[in-house]
């Protein structure tokens, strides 16, 4: 149970980081 919880937390963190990277790329390209 703890392992599945940690895996879900890591996958959520990865998805959030990827989403933030996409937002950063779009905003930086919009400002250029």
Q: 1-32 b/e with 16+ CB inside 10 Å = b?
A: eeeeeeeeeeeeeeeeeeeeeeeeeeeeeeee
Per-residue confidence (pLDDT) for residue 32, from 0 to 100: 66
Per-residue confidence (pLDDT) for residue 8, from 0 to 100: 93
pLDDT per residue as tens digits for the range 1-32: 789 999 999 999 999 988 898 888 888 888 76
């Amino acid at each position: 149970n703890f392992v599945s919880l940690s895996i879900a937390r890591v996958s959520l963190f990865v998805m959030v980081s990827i989403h933030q990277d996409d937002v950063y790329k779009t905003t930086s390209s919009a400002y250029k």
